[in-house]
Structure 1
Amino acid sequence: MAEPSFLNAIRQSYDAVAEDYVRIVAPPERMDPLTRAMLAAFADLVRAADRGPVADVGCGPGRVTAHLDSLGLSAFGVDLSPRMVELARTTHPHLPFSVGSMTALDLDDGSLGGVLALFSTFHTPPEHLPTVFAEFHRTLAPGGHLMLWGYVGDHEVLRPTRAYGGHPVSYEAHLLPVERIAELLGEAGLVVTARLVCEPAGKARWPSACFFAHKPDRS
């Protein structure tokens, strides 16, 4: 099956911006207190459930993966961009990172205690989100947790031409309403337990939403 074209656009764009992304985007120690608190809450949930490791999908240069490790989680990273994965492996050699797509994760069914998708799903066209969320559900163990955070809007589509230091990019950003994202998570079999909507602040130009969800434990 041919790879969807949007994946190649994301891959090429993040390969191009990787070095400046590291320079421009704040590492976990300089994130705002709310983001750090949400990550800490996610870590608490995963540790308490004790269902397995955490996959940081769309991990970029691996700094948040390393932060999860510092919070006591067994964490690894997956990213579509080979250059991002190369930077992650160089900077955090004690952690595993691999090139892969969240549309088809190379992971066993029920093998994860947690999935973190931190600003990594909004490049996905809405018609492909059911596939992504089904992969989250498939790879999570019963009782496993998902934390998803991304930009939201009223079905807006953004097509930037340059980003992160002025590098050419060809990806799109799809900003869906909060209710639609929650609906898609539910359709994938995940139970949404909390959602937090944040107004634009700092350099952010759009609102964002953080979702906590879990895969039901049928036992």
Structure 2
Amino acid sequence: MVGHDALTVTREAYDAVADAYADVVRDSLRNTPLDRAMLGAFADVVRVSGDGQVADLGCGPGYVTAYLNELGLPAFGVDASAEMIKLARRDYPALRFDVGSMAALDIADGVLAGVLSRWSIIHTPPQDLPGILAEFHRVLAPGGHLLVGLWASEDASHPTQVFDHTVAPAYRWWPDHLAALLGEAGLVEVARMLREPQPADKRQFRAFHLLVRRA
């Protein structure tokens, strides 16, 4: 389970900056074609593997949830920040958005065709991440897919690195280390994408996506 203090700090921090944060990120997919490509690949494999809903966990102001729906997925969003959910419901009233914690999802076992965790586990202390990944596994149907996106640490000798996120304490991960943790949670790697920082990126870190499947 995620420590109460870490979750509270993150939730309160995002509640306090919700409007400003939403203004910054709302159109960010426009400038990240490789990220869009990974979301498109995720949508394709989810559709091929079977019907079912898709949860955007840590959805923030809901713009990626809306994009998944544009790609044809019946997606809904979950976020710990009530203020973020309020903005998502305002901007995308036709979609479903729930306040909730990734550490204890109010979702039945094995019902989701897909889960998206796009830069949503960066605030999770490394010792708490296995509990989050176990929740992802629990809510996915057999054969369901999870797409994780976040920033990469510098090298394998430093599998997690703390960095100044501005909003709340955050961590970068070495891709192989995270892939191993996902494997321990019963989630098998299907594909990955590692991209170098782009000129428009606020943080000049490498980013990566891991696409995994519940066996």
Cα deviation for residue 21 of structure 1 reads: 1.1
1:38-53 correspondence to structure 2 within 5 Å: 38-53=38-53
Cα deviation for residue 28 of structure 1 reads: 5.8
1:163-202 correspondence to structure 2 within 5 Å: 163=166, 169=167, 171-201=168-198, 202=200
C-alpha distance in structure 1 between counterparts of 2:13 and 2:103, whole Å: 18
Report how many aligned residue pairs link the two structures.
208
- Residue range with higher mean Cα deviation, 3-12 or 53-62: 3-12
Partner-residue secondary structure (3-state), 2:171: strand
- AA aligned to 2:110 is G
> Measured at CA, do residues 28 and 156 of structure 1 come closer, stay the same or move farther in structure 2, by a change above 3 Å?
closer
Partner-residue secondary structure (3-state), 1:174: strand
C-alpha distance in structure 2 between counterparts of 1:80 and 1:27, whole Å: 22
> Measured at CA, do residues 29 and 188 of structure 1 come closer, stay the same or move farther in structure 2, by a change above 3 Å?
closer
What does residue 77 of structure 1 align with? 77
Deviations 1:17-58 (A, max 9, x none): 111112112426524211111111110111111241000000
What does residue 211 of structure 1 align with? 210
What does residue 166 of structure 1 align with? none
C-alpha distance in structure 1 between counterparts of 2:40 and 2:163, whole Å: 31
For residue 163 of structure 2, the aligned residue among 158, 162, 185 is: 158
Partner-residue secondary structure (3-state), 2:183: helix
Deviations 1:82-117 (A, max 9, x none): 000000011111111001111111100001000001
What does residue 128 of structure 1 align with? 128
What does residue 5 of structure 1 align with? 5
Partner-residue secondary structure (3-state), 2:108: coil
TM superposition score normalised by structure 1: 0.90
C-alpha distance in structure 1 between counterparts of 2:173 and 2:144, whole Å: 25
- AA aligned to 2:179 is A
C-alpha distance in structure 1 between counterparts of 2:170 and 2:39, whole Å: 23
Cα deviation for residue 124 of structure 1 reads: 0.5
What does residue 62 of structure 2 align with? 62
Partner-residue secondary structure (3-state), 1:76: strand
- AA aligned to 2:140 is L
TM superposition score normalised by structure 2: 0.92
Superposed CA RMSD in Å reads 1.6
Deviations 1:47-92 (A, max 9, x none): 1112410000000011110111111111100001000000001111
> Measured at CA, do residues 122 and 61 of structure 1 come closer, stay the same or move farther in structure 2, by a change above 3 Å?
same
Partner-residue secondary structure (3-state), 1:38: helix
Structure 1: runs of 5 or more not aligned: 164-168
- AA aligned to 2:79 is D
